[in-house]
Amino acid sequence: MTTSPPSRLARARALVVGVGGLGAPVAQFLAAAGVGTITLCDADRVDLTNLQRQILYATGDVGQPKVVAAAARLAAVNPHVALRQVPERVGGEALARLAAAADVVVTFWGRPRRRTAKAWIHQCGSVEEALAARAAGADAVIAQGVEAGGHVRGTTAAMELLAHVRAALPGDYPVLAAGGVADAADVAARLEAGADAVVSGTRFLMSDESGAHPAYKERSREAEETILTELFGVGWPARHRVIPNEATARWLRGDPRGPGWLRTFHAATAPLASRVPVGLQIRMAASQRTSRPLFGPAAATVGGPPSLVEAGPLYAGECIDRIDDIRPAGELVRELAG
């Protein structure tokens, strides 16, 4: 996050390819900051398994094209932004044409690959990923710390990772910092440590526009700690950071990752569980109970089963213990920018 004159932002154009785990919050931040035109590209529809890390969406959006659901949410954040919807998987010449019209393209996960002649930023969870992104031609990287909420890719704390990435890359190479950013002091600390800008996620979980269930937000207001676990891993056996609830209290007594047999079960059944039809996933999520340790990754969202507040994952970063209010996203952007 950096500050720019409103007139310059209003003239800016952004392309978001894939309105998912990274693209959804990025699009929300861009709209809240006042970027004039945002093009959304995604061929997928909102799936229940998306909701745990893509808080732009709610249960009522399941089945809708992502670009349609995202545009509706972003229009609520900033009714003055122009939103272009491209409900298709773009590549080759089509992607090059769209990217050429954007001022910056942000990517995450998988092999880093340049898809635009303009600015390209790639999010990383390690020094190795940052070096690979630069070698592939990325103009900047986002160093995401392990404090981040939701599914966690890296293993290093944000400030430490920032220092390592900063040391491994040339001094004039832009590095953005993510993880543990809750207020303007966090922004200032990361800028002082060498970051060129910051990315914040958990703070926007606690925004008016977030699709999280009201009870989820209220529990987040009261939260004092988070747990890095693998408990909610049916269909997606990876580490994730959550707020404690009844499910974690019952099943994480011996190991914060979860019972060994359960993690083995997650890994063995992932190829099949990840392909369960959306309708069945919704019914399965609604039937989750703390007494049965078969927990999927779907989080409690607006219009969804309130039982998931205790029997589902409450994703949040470590900085949640310093957040106790819910405000409009635009107001949060202005405050973080100082």
The per-residue pLDDT for range 16-62, each reduced to its tens digit, is: 877 876 677 778 777 876 788 888 888 888 877 666 566 678 778 88
Alpha-carbon gap, residue 104 to 331, rounded angstroms: 24
pLDDT for the residue 6: 46
**C-alpha dist (Å) from residue 241 to 4, 201, 244, 319:** 33, 13, 10, 11
Looking at the structure, tell me whether residues 197 and 216 fall in a common domain. no
Are 153 and 282 found together in one domain? no
**DSSP E strands: which ranges in 35-93?**
37-41, 82-86
Q: Is residue 258 part of a domain?
A: yes
Residues of the chain with pLDDT under 50: 1-6
| Helix axis angle, 184-192 to 158-168, nearest 10° | 30
Q: Domain check: are 247 and 130 in the same one? A: no
Digit-coded pLDDT (tens) for 80-115: 888 888 877 766 677 777 767 677 777 876 788 887
Q: What is the model's pLDDT at position 92?
A: 67
Amino acid found at 96: A
Q: How many structural domains is the chain composed of?
A: 2
Contact indicator for 336, 203 with CB cutoff of 8 Å? yes
Domain membership of residue 1 (yes or no) is: no
pLDDT on residue 3? 40
Give the model's pLDDT for residue 48.
72
Any idea what the CATH number is for the domain that residue 144 is in?
A: 3.50.50.80
Residue 57 shares a structural domain with residue 195: yes
Structural domain including 109 reads: 6-204+326-336
Residues 265, 291: one domain?
yes
Identify whether residues 253 and 187 lie together within a single domain.
Answer: no
- Predicted TM-score (pTM) of the model is 0.69
Task: Note every long-range contact of 127-131, with CB atoms under 8 Å and residues 24 or more positions apart, other chains counting.
Answer: 127/161, 127/164, 127/165, 127/168, 130/165, 130/168, 130/169, 130/175, 131/168, 131/169
Domain co-membership, 177 together with 238: no
Same domain, 139 and 16: yes
Co-location of 187 and 226 in the same domain: no
Q: For residue 120, tell me if it sits in a domain.
A: yes
In a domain, 136, yes or no: yes
